[in-house]
Chain A
Amino acid sequence: MRGKNNMLNEPIVTKRMGFEDSYTLERYLATGGYEGLRKALSMTREQVKEEVNKASLLGRGGAGFPAGRKWSMLRQAPTSYLVINGDESEPATFKDHLLVERDPHQLIEGTMIAAYALGVSQAFIFTRGEFALGIERLTAACNEAYEYNAVGKNIFGSDFSVDLVIHPGAGAYICGEETSLIESLEGNRGFPRIKPPFFPAVTGLYGEPTVVNNVETMSNLPWIVLNGGDAFAALGQGSSAGTRLFALSGRVNRPGWYELEMSKTTFRDLIYDKDLGGGIIGDKKIKAFIPGGVSAPWFFEEHLDMGLDQDAVAKAGSMLGSGSVVVMDETTCVVRASWRITRFFHRESCGQCTPCREGSGWLEKIMRRIEEGSGRPEDLDLLMDVCDSIAPGVTWPPQQTTICVLGPSIPSSIASAIRHLRDEFLEHIKLGHCPYEKDHILTGAAR
């Protein structure tokens, strides 16, 4: 994975990425590792929480909920848990992958700081099962951390003890949804839980209050504790504080990860700056881009000058989500692109709620049919209507007929494509193949 952070004076979560042995305890300690935890242990729990609050650290999992507020919602109970969500499974999203694989100690240190602040004695890191190398390194790091006494009994001689379990998932995108993740962790089928209760912080793992935080969120904590919440909040702008790790992919010259100060950088910078995306391959025109993972509605040329800012993106009708930006150039087939995204959701729908279970399949079958040359003009309205059955109104943020948000994520790509590039859809249907596909083998329209 190629990436960059030298736009920043001091990278926060990617500072060790330049080292080949970034994942070892040796390198971690040589680069200031576990100093944040030591400092946190010298502070009171309230002081640590206060720093995180001051940092206005937004959750990096996709919903962007302030981490400090999430922590404050934790119901007081004799037993509570901390669960780290590392089930990053969405196409084109690979920031947590990087952090787990290349800097596992930073994740563990952040987790320990959060565990201390929350007063929990049992933490879990739920990682995507397909992170083979990541799981190997994270497990090794966990063992090293136990030996180093950064995890376990009486951490660094304090009276704070916490156990950490690394739990590889079994290969389901849905387990990135926090209640589904909790079900899976309990050993059940990964079905999202019905709400209410709305928050695991009230009723979570084994029915006890549970904080579920993202890998990147945790990885920020050592820096925040060492440098103070104010220093973090000084980066970025407004509610979008600090830096964020973006995963850039698609038709750009330099795909990869980029740690960038939030708000201050625009999508145009990310895609076109020679030190970042380096522009579109072959200097083609941009057709569309996805600003925050395949669940997010698409953006188009007119959005390029928008900053990488959570509120601004939300206001424009999409989301910064998981921080993955996918670029489509003028030759990208929107039918094919949205079919591929829909196919992903079809395969990953957990099967619980009817609209998502059946709707995803229906949408994919129609999209496949159009892509394969058997589309009908009326399919466009049908597609929008099926989308409407899953997410009434097909708006963003969505209304939903389902238990979790996987359902209303399905229409994003189809609705974006049809609403903004309807003519291209119709052309595809008329030709029976993609207008940009030069050496197509399908002849004419089937209907």
Chain B
Amino acid sequence: MTDTVHTQNQAEEEERDNTVNIVIDGVAIKANEGELLIEAAERNGIFIPRFCYHPHMEPVGMCRMCLVEVSGPRGFALQPACYLKVQENMEVMASSDKAKRAQEGVLELLLINHPLDCPVCDKGGECPLQDQTMSYGPGESRFIEEKRHFDKPIELGPLTYLDRERCIQCARCTRFAAEVAGEPQIDFAGRGDMTMVATSPTRPFDSYFSGNTVQICPVGALTAKAYRFKSRPWDLEQAETTCTLCSVGCREVAQSSAGELVRYLGVDNLTLNQSWLCDKGRYSFEAVKNGRVLTPLARHEGVLEEVRWADALADITAGIRAGLAKGGGDQIAVLGGAKFTNEDNYMWARLAKGVFGSELVDAQLGDGFNAELALALPRAGIEETVNARTVVLIAGDLKEELPVLYLRLYQNLAKGKTKLIEISPTHTSLSDLAKIKLSPRPGELFSITEDIFDVTKNSVGSLKDESVISSIRQFLDVREETSADDGEGIVFVVGNANLAEAPIYLEESLKLIAAKLPKAKFLPALRRGNIFGALDMGLGPNLLPGRINKDRGDFFRRTWGTLPASPGIGTPEILAKCAAGEVSVLVLLGADPLSDFVDQALVQKAFENTPFIISLASHMDPSATSADVVLPVPYMGETAGTVTNLEGRVSVLGQKVTPPALARQPWLIAADIARLLEEDFGLYTLEEVSQEIADTVSLYRGVSLASLKRFGGDGVFVPVKAAKVKIASSTKSIFDPIAVPGIASVEEQGAPIKTGSAKPIALQDGNTKDSSAEALAKGDARLISLADVTSATRHAGGLDVIAEPKSDKYSLRLILQRDLYDAGSTLVNCPTLASLGGVQEILLAPSAASGFGLQNGSPVNVTGRGQMIEAQVKIDKSLSPGLAVLKVNKSKANDIFSADVSDGIASGRAELLVDASALVTDIRLETKHDKKKELG
């Protein structure tokens, strides 16, 4: 592999036409017009000390550490480099006596009230205040007075402590909260040297993004509950990796101390997460230690017992042979894969489809939409999305489902860089920023989409306000005469906003939009970790590795030997087959349908009626507990391999800690089973699997672990269009605070230093087998297109069912959504996050609530499908009467660790009310007998 065509410098030179000539410390420098002096200096290797400056936030000039002498009409004067923009012929003295005196003065002043408790401070050793004091500060303090005192530390929120004595009032955290997260929950109170960061008296700092303030705090004022006193920076080892808790796939470093995972820090890359993480991802490292499956388990006489791997695999092989003997591949179902790597998923796809011959394979668990459609839609990247002319959100609340995508979108919407049209059934975190907000009722989405695009239609279907439709048409440039360029610059962020509604409304809408706006792009908001990697590797109905439709699978039929004969079906139908006793073996690839599928009655029946259930699980979740064989697999931080995010960005997982001794990687388990079935794949190492993907999957051609490790940076986008690809981000950040002396720690993470334009590289070398090229040449490995999408099978009547079903007047129509802190295995196994789960709340319109005589907080019984659950009423003014909103995987009890945990979760589970085969779900309320009221 070789670098080709450009050097980084040449590329930079070419792109820069608005250069400004400045001189810093006698060195002539070319800066970009409008660039901040501190950034221009840094790009040219001159470091100006700073605390409050942060590259992803507006400058405030508070700390005054970056004072340098700058030439002006009245000679040289001290100016802060962090908000001064470069100007032609500007002369700067960054290390003159006067500048040094000013910097030294600021540092001395910063330290007078600082407690200097470095030996017991989490930040000690990676502290910009410590580091810059060493480099720029006075040797000794002349301060003999009493320092300022505060109670310390105070709890700022459920995950964060604040030590106000250590705070240097740089406003990084307050700016993050207001500017980046859009949640100004913290601000300054008091004044002068008693200025402190504070929350409102009525609401703690409970933002989903609070951990970022800890990461960017330049001192140890903000500390994380989960990390406090866990380690010293010099004891940390680290590896760059990708978070796999949701499909955004934030780049981060996993840090361990004494072999134990203790911290995740966001990596600064310009096009993905820009160093930010959500709290769930950041603090999920705690789950590594809790609730793990440590050894293979097999059920003997009804009880799961520890067994040897060989015995477990022998049981499995026997079960699979029996199933195959009974009715071929259709007897074996494989669900899940979104928690696994691409290598794991490729091997399982090959095993399931190429060895078992099964099409009962789906990595989604009924909460997304048609996988073929999701892969066929023209894909947008995150950067393209947040900078689009118009973003149309047809999905749920991004802050709950894909938090860091929300963060990126919020900032650009707030700055007016893009416009938002929101078509989402409930009020989301972005609704207030939307130019147009439409709230379709369940079952109404397709008719709204038709209204928007059927320009000739005289009356607008279900919507009263025709002007809303016409203004959406204006935003989307929908006219009577269509052109092939329609949709240019528009990105649709699309996902299933209501789990109690059949996805067909969304699917048909998407097909219509894609047909009407040929240039529009889509960012599918499928939520699960590596769901896109799993689907790309073929773990979806009718799919083969590389986003290829099964009908075009000749290449894989030849190389794998066989392909399934039956048509593929999705998880709801697979589980229905299981429930009907038509499936012999159910393999769960890290999937936990017993707590993670919307129709719980169906799952329970499926588990009862499937004779042999195999669970590959990192944690002892409810499905593993009910399985017949449980195989321990690694968790985040313990896994090596590659993953693909929702943009199609392939990145490398860094394995930081060793998995439990007996855990085996899922790809290895697949290889073992294949070998035991006498279908040896001949792949014995992770690198070999990765290379096979790079060689045979056309979409991933050349994208292997080896090439990514060498050139990948923060990931490479697939499909790779040519032999040369653009690296997703060329920003490389230095993380080890000890490795780089001086101000190397958190600062380096923040600064987009020495970034150039993406550098074209060659991912292919002469030695690749490149059989995918051969396949491509024959045209049988073409990427799936909209025309290839198998029409939805669940509602064969097609468009006839696309009208909104009628409801009776006693019922409420249910909108079922997911929030970030659901009682899934992350929350259950992370002590710090556990209390954030919250109770099941039912959102009702004010009129609906008052109709039932209910107030905020009233307990209520919710019934449907012969089941009853309990919830607390929350009145939501934005909701229309006739609708109710519930959340999945919520417990009745507030503390999911309380004694009645299983009971609590069960009696609050909205999933009991939903029939996965129905188009929409209606529920009824039963008010609880209020004893207090009666007595009063």
Residue pair A358, B113 in contact (C-beta under 8 Å) = yes
Per-position contact with B for A343-363: 1 when CB-CB < 8 Å, else 0?
Answer: 000111111111101111110
Closest Cβ of chain A to B631, distance in Å, is: 57
B190-A194 in contact (CB<8A): no
Q: Which residues of A contact B194 (CB under 8 A)?
A: 351
* Residues B64 and A401 in contact, CB atoms below 8 Å apart: yes
Candidate in B145, B168, B187 with the most chain A CB atoms within 10 angstroms: B145
Query: Which of A355, A359, A385, A400 is the most central at the interface, judged by chain B CB atoms within 10 Å of its CB?
Result: A355
Do residues B191 and A361 form an inter-chain contact, with CB atoms below 8 A?
no
Cβ-defined contact, B105 with A389, below 8 A: yes
B109, A389: Cβ atoms closer than 8 Å: yes
Given A353-B62, A401-B102: A362 and B112 interface contact (C-beta under 8 Å)? yes
A382–B143 CA distance with the chains assembled, in angstroms:
9
Pair B188/A392 contact, Cβ less than 8 Å: no
Known: A351-B192, A359-B109. A399 touches B78 (CB 8 A): yes
Interface status of A388 (Cβ within 8 A of chain B)? yes
> Judging by beta carbons under 8 Å apart, are B191 and A401 in contact?
no
Q: How far is the CB of A380 from chain B (nearest CB, A)?
A: 13
CB neighbours of A348 from chain B (8 A): 191-192
Point out the residues of chain B lying under 8 angstroms from A353, CB to CB: 61-64
Smallest distance from the beta carbon of A192 to chain B beta carbons, Å? 10
Q: Which residues of B contact A352 (CB under 8 A)?
A: 60, 62, 169
Give the chain B neighbours of A385 by CB distance below 8 A: 142
Given contacts A349-B191, A388-B105, A402-B64, contact A358 B110 (CB under 8 A): yes
Residues 55-75 (chain B) with a chain A CB within 8 angstroms: 59-65, 67
- The interface residues of chain A lying within 8 Å CB-to-CB of B109 are 354-355, 357-359, 362, 386, 389
Q: Is there contact, CB below 8 Å, between B143 and A350?
A: no
- In the complex formed, the residue of B with least CB distance to A366 is B145
Question: Of all chain B residues, which has the CB nearest A400?
Answer: B78
**Bound form: Cα–Cα A360–B148 in Å:** 13
- Is the contact region of chain A dominated by helix, strand, or loop, or is it mixed? helix
Q: Number of A-B pairs whose CB atoms are under 8 Å?
A: 101
Interface residues of B in 181-236 (CB under 8 A from A): 187-188, 190-195
Contact residues in B for A351 (Cβ distance below 8 Å): 169, 188, 190-195
Residue of B nearest to A356 (CB): B192
Report A-chain residues with C-beta under 8 Å of the C-beta of B61: 194, 353, 403
Q: Check: A189 CB closer than 8 A to any chain B CB.
A: yes
Question: Chain A 371-393 against B: per-residue CB contact (8 Å), 1 yes, 0 no?
Answer: 00000000000100110111010
A335 to chain B, nearest CB (A): 16
Contacts of A16 in B (CB 8 A): none
Q: State in angstroms the CA–CA spacing of A358 and B110 once bound together.
A: 7
Assuming the contacts A354-B65, A362-B145, A382-B142, asked whether A389 and B193 have C-beta atoms less than 8 A apart, the reply is no
A350, B83: Cβ atoms closer than 8 Å: no
A194 partner residues in chain B, CB cutoff 8 A: 59-61, 80, 83
- The minimal Cβ–Cβ distance linking A430 to chain B, given in whole angstroms, is 19
Q: Which residues of A contact B113 (CB under 8 A)?
A: 358, 361
Q: Are A361 and B148 neighbours in the complex by a CB distance under 8 Å?
A: yes
Q: How far is the CB of B162 from chain A (nearest CB, A)?
A: 16
Q: Are A357 and B193 closer than 8 Å at their CB atoms?
A: yes
Determine if A350 and B192 form an interchain contact, defined as CB atoms under 8 angstroms apart.
yes
A201 and B143 CA atoms in complex are apart in Å by: 42
Q: Is B106 at the interface (CB under 8 A from chain A)?
A: yes
CA distance A10 to B192 in the complex (A): 44
Specify which chain A residues have a CB less than 8 angstroms from the CB of B146 in the assembled complex. Answer: 365
On whether the beta carbons of A354 and B64 are closer than 8 Å, the reply is: yes
Judge if A225 is at the interface, Cβ distance under 8 Å: no
- From known contacts A194-B60, A399-B77, A401-B67, infer whether A350 and B191 are also in contact, taking CB-CB under 8 Å: yes
Which residues of chain A are near B168, meaning CB under 8 Å? 354
Whether A357 lies near B195 (C-beta < 8 A) is: yes
B195 touches A369 (CB 8 A): no
B98 located at the interface, meaning its Cβ lies under 8 Å from any Cβ of chain A in the complex: yes
Interface check B101, CB cutoff 8 A: yes
Q: Name which residue of chain B comes closest to A345, CB basis.
A: B192
- CB neighbours of A388 from chain B (8 A): 101, 105
A401 and B63 CA atoms in complex are apart in Å by: 10
Residue of A174, A361, A390, A392 near B193 (CB, 8 A) is: A361
Once A194-B83, A362-B143, A401-B78 are accepted as A-B contacts, the answer to whether A355 and B192 lie under 8 Å apart by CB is: no
A194 CA / B79 CA spacing, docked (Å): 11
- Digitize B162-182: 1 where CB-to-A-CB distance is under 8 Å, 0 elsewhere: 000000110000000000000
Please indicate the chain B residues that have their CB under 8 angstroms from the CB of A233 in the complex: none
**A389, B62: Cβ atoms under 8 Å?**
no
Shortest Cβ distance from A346 into B: residue: B192
> Does A172 lie at the interface of the complex (its beta carbon under 8 Å from any beta carbon of B)?
yes
Bound-state Cα–Cα, A354 to B61, Å:
10
Cα–Cα distance between A346 and B194 once the two chains are bound (Å): 10
- Chain A nearest CB: distance from B524 CB in Å? 38
List chain B residues, Cβ under 8 A from A174.
Answer: 191
Interface presence of B108 (CB below 8 A): yes
Chain B neighbourhood of A354, CB < 8 A = 62-65, 106, 109-110, 168-169
In the docked arrangement, what's the CA distance between A189 and B178, Å? Answer: 14
Contact (A392, B192) CB under 8 Å given A354-B168, A369-B145, A401-B105: no
Residue interface bits A182-198, CB-to-B below 8 A is 1, else 0: 00000001000010000
Contact with B106, one of A172, A346, A349, A389 (Cβ below 8 angstroms): A389
- Specify the chain B residue showing the minimal Cβ separation from A378: B142
> Per-position contact with A for B538-552: 1 when CB-CB < 8 Å, else 0?
000000000000000
Give chain A nearest CB distance to B930 CB in angstroms: 42
- Bound together, the chains give a CA A353 to CA B187 distance in angstroms of 16
Minimum CB–CB distance from B130 to chain A (whole Å) comes to 17
Q: Please indicate the chain A residues that have their CB under 8 angstroms from the CB of B193 in the complex.
A: 346, 349, 351, 357-358, 360-361
Whole-angstrom distance from the CB of A176 to the nearest CB of chain B? 14
Closest Cβ neighbor of B170 among chain A residues: A354
A254–B78 Cα gap in the complex (Å)? 44
Report B-chain residues with C-beta under 8 Å of the C-beta of A355: 64, 105-106, 109
- Given A194-B61, A360-B193, A389-B109, decide whether A189 and B187 contact each other with a Cβ distance below 8 A: yes
Contact A349 B64 (CB under 8 A): no
* CA A32 to CA B169, docked complex, whole Å: 53
Residues in A neighbouring B191, C-beta threshold 8 A: 172, 174, 347-351
How far is it, in angstroms, between the C-alpha of A406 and the C-alpha of B143 when the chains are bound? Answer: 22
- The CB with the most chain B CB atoms within 10 A, among A347, A352, A354, A402, is that of A354
Q: Mark A101-113, 1 if CB is under 8 A from B, else 0.
A: 0000000000000
A401 and B106 in contact (CB under 8 A), knowing A352-B62, A358-B112? Answer: yes
The residues of B that contact A403 with a CB separation of less than 8 Å are 61
Inter-chain CA distance A107–B5, complex, in Å, is 71
Known A189-B188, A349-B193, A350-B192; contact A365-B145, beta-carbon cutoff 8 A: yes
Name which residue of chain B comes closest to A362, CB basis. B112
- A selection of 20 A-B contacts at a CB cut-off of 8 Å is A194-B60, A347-B191, A349-B191, A350-B191, A351-B188, A352-B62, A353-B61, A353-B62, A354-B109, A355-B106, A361-B113, A361-B192, A362-B112, A365-B145, A369-B145, A386-B109, A392-B78, A392-B101, A399-B78, A401-B106
Excluding A352-B60, A388-B105, 5 further A-B contacts by CB distance (< 8 Å) are A353-B61, A354-B65, A354-B169, A366-B145, A399-B77
Question: 5 closest pairs, A vs B, by CB?
Answer: A389-B105, A351-B195, A358-B109, A365-B145, A361-B193
